[in-house]
Amino acid sequence: MNTPADRPIEALIETFEPEAAARPLSGRLNLLATTLATGLSLYALYWVIAVIQPQIYRVTFLLLALVLSFLLFPAVKGSRRSVTWLDWLLIAVTIAALAWPIVDFEQFVYRAAEPNSFDLICGTLTIVVVLEATRRTVGGILPLTAAAFLVYGYYGPLFDRIGLGLLAHRGYSLERLIGSLYMSLEGIFGVPLDVAATYIVLFTVYGAVLQFSGAGRFFLDWAMAVSGRSGGGAGPGRTVTIAGFLLGTVSGSGVATTVMLGSVAWPLLRSAGYPAEVAGAILSAGGIGAILSPPTLGAAAFLIAEFLQISYLQVLVMATVPTLLYYISIFLMIEADSRRLGTKSARLSTLSLAQLTWRYGYHFSSLVSIAGFMLMGMTAFRAVFWATCLAIALSFVRSETALYPRKLFQAMEAGGKGVLSVAATTATAGIIVGVVTLTGLGLKIAGIIVTFAGGSLALTVVYSAIAVWLLGLAVPVTASYIIAAVMIAPALTQVGVAPAAAHMFIFYYAVLSEVSPPTALSPFAAAAITGGNPFRTMMVTWKYTLPAFLVPFVFTLRGEGMGILLQGPPSLILWTSLTAAIGVCALAVGAGGWLRRKATLFERMLAIAAGILLMYPAATTDFAGLACFAAVIAYHFWRTR
């Protein structure tokens, strides 16, 4: 009898990540899809070194992505039928509607205020194919949400008649909506799609190059070799977490990282004595941590740079301390559970750490080079472009990892296919952003949140967290961030939160929705591998990542909290980061229930109180939290002496 872990990795990813459920093609159709996907990657790389008018590039990029989406993704999820007449019709409509802005470009861009009849037809068809491609790749909730925003944009005055005057506006005609969403850089072809067509596709291609050059396998083996040198039972759990971090630089997806990691690491965790639910929590926490962490972060991080008009390197810098706090939490939780469960060290049959590093350590070079190139003054685009070139060149260090032409083109194909769901998602998110901008809805929603909070900073932050969390349960992380950035970030900035802190807050809560009840895709995917109870796996994962839900409050509740985003004087950065780290340790003791030995209920409650106090960046709460945690440690060691 097959266990869940015996199921193919691709099947598990398809089950828990809708955008992975592509249908198989063969013959000429497969050749066409391969050519288009490879061409999409090469086009993105060419854009870095060439000069292409932004609107032309975004339109052609979306055209290729949508055609590929209709070739690869069936109208009904799970269908294995080949390309149907409906798919061909949608492909033809896509080509016609998106070729028009290119063919008539010189006049097209000047008609946004007064579209002609053909503009209206092509614009309407473009909206339809974008929503349908999004439905096929990521599910129906996001396109339905975008459709609701379109209705809102058209029927604005109706809200006043039904008693929702706060949301009412004068209403916009079809001509105005099409002109804004289709004929300008404010809607479908706005910032979200721009980020997908530049940052995201380049990092997706880079990840595919690493994967096909064997870097993904090396990262796993290297981390497993590290576990073999750990003498404690927490070693396997800690090392699986490290492996998830490294693998995430290749995958870029929390669910995909969890599944790929679990297919290799579950036997290690099982042999070490971890129950299925705890092992699943380790896998999913490690998987989701990968898209919270530099040097790649998740797709939403690229959007932060665009919305704030800062460099991507600055976003990486701001994410450094929160990432360290996230992994400190997981490591301490694993330590507590391993001691409580009596797990033991374990090792898979791999080469030694020294042998692996000597033979394949060059795979680390391109990762480090991204930050290095940006420190030299390169843009993120050029940095990842040259890092990709470096990864290709370094693959020839050993013959078994060399990216000869056939394998290189396979990597380009994978990179092109990997960006399809993000392209459709960001185009649809652009519709939402365009309507919000046109109607002023963002400021209205922000005003409602602040009003409900009574102008209180703390309540506004709490309500914003709940709103982003609920939004993240319904739509993908990238779309969740985009919508929240235009509707919830203004509420935070209205009550005095710095713009950088507001956007980082939204980013973290959008990502953490993947491990939050009741959906929690990453824990459910991990449970499918380990055979554990999905609900219990989800709750243990939530316990492991609990401090991560509190860290964003540090840099939003008080200006001093910006220290953990590495903003402010060095003394503030050091003190805030140190007290936050101690707070994470206190929360880990309280949630994990272990210090030297099993902690009592009193010790756990006092440790949690200390952790919460230390998370609030003020001198009085810091010293009170330090005193409480010191009392917990002293009492525990006295009790267990």
Token representation of residue 530: 């380990």
Long-range contacts of 152-161 (CB under 8 A, 24+ apart): 152/435, 152/439, 152/441, 153/177, 153/435, 153/438, 153/439, 156/439
Residue 346: what pLDDT? 67
Residue 440 DSSP SS3 = coil
In a domain, 147, yes or no: yes
360 and 391 in one domain?
yes
Residue 3: what pLDDT? 39
In a domain, 160, yes or no: yes
Last residue of a domain, one of 184, 216, 233: 184
Tally the domains of the chain.
Answer: 2
259 and 152 in one domain?
no
41 and 178 in one domain?
yes
Token representation of residue 198: 């530049």
Residue 466: what pLDDT? 87
Which residues neighbour 335 within 8 Å (Cβ) at sequence distance 6 or greater? 234, 238, 592, 594
Token representation of residue 375: 């420190």
Last residue of a domain, one of 184, 207, 224: 184
Rounded CA-CA distance 32/38 in Å is: 10
Residue 5: what pLDDT? 41
In a domain, 566, yes or no: no
C-beta neighbour count of 378 within 10 angstroms: 18
Last residue of a domain, one of 158, 184, 210: 184
Residue 541: what pLDDT? 87
199 and 308 in one domain?
yes
155 and 134 in one domain?
yes
Residue 231: what pLDDT? 52
In a domain, 264, yes or no: yes
303 and 262 in one domain?
yes
Which residues neighbour 531 within 8 Å (Cβ) at sequence distance 6 or greater? 3, 4, 5, 276
Judge contact between 337 and 272, C-beta under 8 A: no
CA-based torsion, 6, 10, 12, 15: positive or negative? negative
242 and 371 in one domain?
yes
In a domain, 53, yes or no: yes
91 and 235 in one domain?
no
Token representation of residue 182: 């289709």
Residue 7: what pLDDT? 45
Judge contact between 545 and 288, C-beta under 8 A: yes
CA atoms within 13 A on the CB side of 410: 10
Range of the domain at 245: 193-406
Rounded CA-CA distance 7/13 in Å is: 10
Residue 24: what pLDDT? 81
Rounded CA-CA distance 20/256 in Å is: 9
The amino acid sitting at 373 is F
In a domain, 535, yes or no: no
Residue 477: what pLDDT? 77
In a domain, 67, yes or no: yes
306 and 206 in one domain?
yes
Residues 394-444: tens digit of each pLDDT: 999 988 889 999 999 999 998 899 888 889 988 998 999 899 888 888 888
Rounded CA-CA distance 116/198 in Å is: 31
Place of tokens 């922000």: 446
**Measured between alpha carbons, how far is residue 535 from residues 253, 515, 518, 539, 541 in Å?**
21, 11, 9, 6, 10
SS3 of the chain: helix, strand, coil, percent, to 5: 80, 0, 20
- Full 3-state SS string of 61-90: HHHHHHHHHHHHCCCCCCCCCCCCHHHHHH
Low-confidence ranges of the chain (pLDDT < 70): 1-21, 78, 80, 227-232, 248-254, 295-296, 298-299, 346-350, 473-474, 517-520
Give residue 297's region: left, alpha or beta (phi > 0; psi -120 to 50).
left
In a domain, 250, yes or no: yes
232 and 93 in one domain?
no
Place of tokens 């809607």: 187
107 and 168 in one domain?
yes
208 and 171 in one domain?
no
Rounded CA-CA distance 322/552 in Å is: 8
Name the strand (E) or helix (H) holding 538: helix 534-557
Residue 612: what pLDDT? 92
Residue 51: what pLDDT? 81
Residue 227: what pLDDT? 60
Judge contact between 576 and 617, C-beta under 8 A: yes
